Amino acid sequence: MRGNIFYLTVVFAIFFLEKSSSRRVTKCNLLGTWKNELGSTLQVDQVGYSGRISGSYVTIVVDTKTQKKSNYTGSVAGLQQKTDEPTFGFIVKWSFVDSSTAWVGQCFQNQTGGEVLETIWLLRSPVTKQADNWKGTKVGSDFFYRIKEW
């Protein structure tokens, strides 16, 4: 009987240790403020237990005629994996145009301990007819760097 209780205790301990280790905090965490090479800001306000992320995105748009810069904000919704250098995806619904942008990428820690998000994006704009579908999507890449909040 004592042997069975000991065995069950060990099994439960292993089970709970395994479960708690799978809930560890990732080394590269998306939570916080990020800025890309163009000056746009990604603010990740929440990373849920399931990996669901939410926040906001501010992009800088330059009027080509006047060179005036304007900031535009969109809502962020997405998901991330729970690993040390997670892959993730998020979409921004823009409030100033009828377009949406989706980013997918991975969070990396560089050799100095800094974090960088390397992403590919798709910007989808509406077109008036299906024959013009090919010109409704633009593709690019962004690098986001964490902004230290003191």
The string of pLDDT tens digits covering residues 70-108 is: 888 999 999 999 899 999 999 999 888 889 999 999 999
pTM for the whole thing? 0.76
Domains of the chain: 26-146 (2.40.128.30)
**Pairing verdict, β 115-124 and 69-80:** unpaired
Kindly state the average pLDDT of the residues 115-122: 96
Between 18-32, 47-61, 85-99, the lowest mean confidence (pLDDT) is in 18-32
Q: What's the confidence (pLDDT) of residue 3?
A: 52
Whether residue 2 has pLDDT greater than 80: no
Q: What's the confidence (pLDDT) of residue 1?
A: 54
Between 38-42, 70-74, 143-147, the lowest mean confidence (pLDDT) is in 70-74
Whether residue 21 has pLDDT greater than 70: no
Of the chain, the end-to-end C-alpha distance in Å amounts to 57
Q: What's the confidence (pLDDT) of residue 71?
A: 86
Confidence of residue 37 (pLDDT cuts 50, 70, 90): very high
